[in-house]
Chains A and B, each alone.
Chain A
Amino acid sequence: GAGVSQTPSNKVTEKGKYVELRCDPISGHTALYWYRQSLGQGPEFLIYFQGTGAADDSGLPNDRFFAVRPEGSVSTLKIQRTERGDSAVYLCASSETSIYTGELFFGEGSRLTVL
């Protein structure tokens, strides 16, 4: 596609439920990032994929959070046993190469609300 696509754009769930957030990066982009943005804050790094493998998952807050990218394109962020504190906008970004000079291209985000 022309840009990074994220679905759903909005997700409302109840505490304790499981959610999946999907990211479809720009075609051909090998690097994929997940960030979380709370109200009034800057984006907080969660995880970075280079191809199919997670190159850096140091930002995942705990083991309830997991992300996959099985074919090196689409990625899914999975959150188990959601908590109210997980409410935020989850941003996905992709980048053309693993060379660190490249800028990230962001999707419009998935807004997660945990009641």
Chain B
Amino acid sequence: AQSVAQPEDQVNVAEGNPLTVKCTYSVSGNPYLFWYVQYPNRGLQFLLKYITGDNLVKGSYGFEAEFNKSQTSFHLKKPSALVSDSALYFCAVRRYGSSNTGKLIFGQGTTLQVKP
């Protein structure tokens, strides 16, 4: 079975500082990894994904994430946080394989709070 863990319920960071939101996954075979953001009373918005290739992937709004196969992690990062980045962030994994139906499994989410 595939699963995602986001160990921090909340991350607090000052505006202008770098931020990291952690994600680890468990899946048999190769993973496809995704980050989504959810603003209050809004749907989930896609930020970025890792499929294959370069372990560092860049996405929307200046976010990036690093895939680490040995640590089974896919942490979300941004060099300089903005107050407007404050939102709920979800990591998700999909398993690659012949029996894969495309189901995307989400973590519990991490609330990012950026203070001025």
Contact = CB atoms under 8 A, between A and B. Distances in A.
A100 B43 CA distance: 21
Interface in B31-54: 32, 34, 36, 41-46, 49, 51
B104 A104 contact: yes
A105 B46 contact: yes
Interface of A: 4, 31, 33, 35, 40-45, 48, 50, 55-56, 58-59, 91, 93, 95, 98, 100-101, 103-109
Interface residues of B, number: 25
Contacts of B101: 48, 55-56
Contacts, number: 62
Given A41-B108, A41-B109, A42-B90, A100 B102 contact: yes
A82 B34 CA distance: 33
Interface in B4-37: 4, 32, 34, 36
B76 to A, nearest CB: 15
Contact of A31 (B41, B45, B102, B109): B102
B32 A101 contact: yes
Interface string B95-112: 010001111111111000
A20 B107 CA distance: 27
